[in-house]
Amino acid sequence: MTNKEKAISFLWQHLLLLISLYLMTLGVVLCVKSSLGSSVISSLPFVFSLAGPISCVPEWTIGGYTIAMNFILVFCQILILRRNFDPMQLFQL
């Protein structure tokens, strides 16, 4: 595989990643806005976003809380794996 083919493959994979992330985000928004509820993974950020104005938690969006939760989960993964943690896993963020 030539360098040009590798670059095109890399760009194509990341374009598909961005499109799929957009579609997943759109699905969460449609479920929440239509009052159908939220999925299991987005339920904690959803609850925190609702509790923001009436309690001591910051007033962030569901997306902001999801990003914060992902940072916490990756940090916990680093603590658990320690030296076995592969830095490539930071792309989860």
40-51 and 3-33 helices, crossing angle to 10°: 60
Q: Are residues 56 and 88 in the same domain?
A: yes
Q: Are residues 84 and 47 in the same domain?
A: yes
pLDDT tens readout for residues 31-78? 878 888 777 777 888 888 888 767 777 888 888 888 888 899 889 999
Torsion on CA atoms 81, 84, 88, 92, rounded to nearest 10: -10
Torsion on CA atoms 51, 22, 24, 40, rounded to nearest 10: -30
Q: Are residues 58 and 30 in the same domain?
A: no
Q: Are residues 44 and 23 in the same domain?
A: no
Q: Are residues 54 and 93 in the same domain?
A: yes
Handedness of CA 37, 41, 43, 49 (dihedral sign): negative
Q: Are residues 68 and 31 in the same domain?
A: no
Number of domains in the chain: 2
pLDDT value, residue 29: 79
- Is this structure's pTM higher than 0.85? no
pLDDT tens readout for residues 50-63? 887 677 778 888 88
pLDDT value, residue 18: 87
Domain coverage including residue 32 = 1-36
